[in-house]
């Protein structure tokens, strides 16, 4: 099976567990995913089955959207409610206007310390593995962009937020830093990814429904990239150039120069991926070609 599947990952399951379970369920030769979710998090997880794994490096998911519920007054070692409490403080009454002002200050470029419990590699080893062994190592600061952040609800000790951010943002770190900016601590209680790139929660498949045998709704490849059907001789010419990163296809097909990424097909079956490079003026330079 060669398909793209958008799944609503349940909480308390790892992304790799969900991928491997569906790989076996659909009897796929291989499977992969883009954009790992924390075990506590739920929401959009994009799974690529069979030959569709080859398009993962070409997927652009620069914009991600989340709904998060945060608890004020506590911080844990994992920065979510599943961890061990490391810090706590009494809650003073906070003015709603003040909370809004503090939260809005996080819009724009955001520099932060990533969580110790994360998949970031430090000296070749995943940070969460070090943390589980009690070895807390220094992780270099990172930068991302918070495009928008909006408060949905203010409770007595909780905040519910809508966040739109760039790829690479750790929402757990953002929640911690919002808590500190409010003069207390903060930890994630619930986290839902509502979209990543063009993949959205309202078009996702429920994980457990799939395992019960409900018909899956697959994501169409043509929604990601233009699928261009060409003659067999054109496919044969392109095949000779596969796995080269800087080839000139202008003499083979002008049609393939137009879009940054094209899926080349024969009789509507995807065969090749063509990724184009352009100069600063938008003029075609060369292409990278890969087999499906």
Residues annotated catalytic, as ranges: 38
- Distance, in Å, from the CA atom of 181 to the CA atom of 105, rounded to the nearest integer, reads 10
The answer to whether residues 107 and 72 touch, using CB atoms and an 8 Å cutoff, is: no
Q: For residue 257, what is the enclosing H or E element? A: none
The answer to whether residues 178 and 186 touch, using CB atoms and an 8 Å cutoff, is: yes
DSSP 114: P
| CA angle in degrees (0–180, nearest 5) for 230-233-234 | 50
Buried b (16+ CB within 10 A) or exposed e, 142-165: bebbbeebeeeeeeeeebbbebbb
Strand partners, 171: none
Distances 54 to 64, 225, 286 between C-alpha atoms, Å: 22, 13, 20
DSSP 118: S
């Amino acid at each position: 099976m060669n398909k793209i599947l958008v799944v609503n990952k349940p909480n308390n399951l790892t992304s790799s567990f969900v991928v491997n379970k569906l790989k076996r369920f659909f009897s796929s030769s291989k499977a992969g995913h883009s954009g790992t979710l924390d075990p506590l998090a739920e929401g959009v997880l994009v799974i690529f089955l069979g030959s569709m794994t080859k398009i993962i490096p070409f997927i652009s998911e620069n914009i991600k959207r989340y709904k998060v519920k945060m608890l004020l007054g506590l911080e844990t070692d994992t920065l979510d409610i599943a961890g061990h409490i490391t810090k706590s403080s009494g809650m003073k009454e906070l003015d709603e206007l003040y909370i809004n002002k503090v939260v809005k200050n996080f819009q724009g470029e955001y520099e932060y310390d990533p969580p110790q419990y994360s998949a970031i590699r430090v000296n070749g080893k995943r940070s969460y593995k070090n943390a589980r062994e009690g070895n807390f190592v220094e992780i270099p600061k990172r930068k991302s962009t918070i495009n928008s952040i909006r408060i949905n609800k203010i409770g007595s000790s909780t905040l519910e937020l809508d966040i739109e951010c760039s790829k690479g943002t750790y929402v757990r770190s953002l929640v911690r830093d919002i808590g500190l900016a409010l003069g207390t601590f903060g930890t994630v209680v619930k986290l839902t990814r509502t979209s990543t790139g063009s993949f959205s929660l309202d078009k996702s498949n429920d994980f457990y429904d799939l395992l019960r045998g409900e018909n899956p709704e697959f994501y169409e490849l043509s929604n990601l990239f233009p699928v261009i059907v060409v003659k067999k001789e054109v496919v044969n010419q392109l095949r000779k150039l596969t796995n080269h990163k800087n080839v000139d296809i202008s003499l083979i097909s002008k049609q393939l120069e137009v879009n940054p990424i094209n899926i080349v097909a024969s009789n509507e079956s995807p065969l090749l991926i063509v990724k184009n490079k352009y100069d600063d003026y938008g003029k075609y330079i060369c292409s990278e070609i890969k087999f499906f």
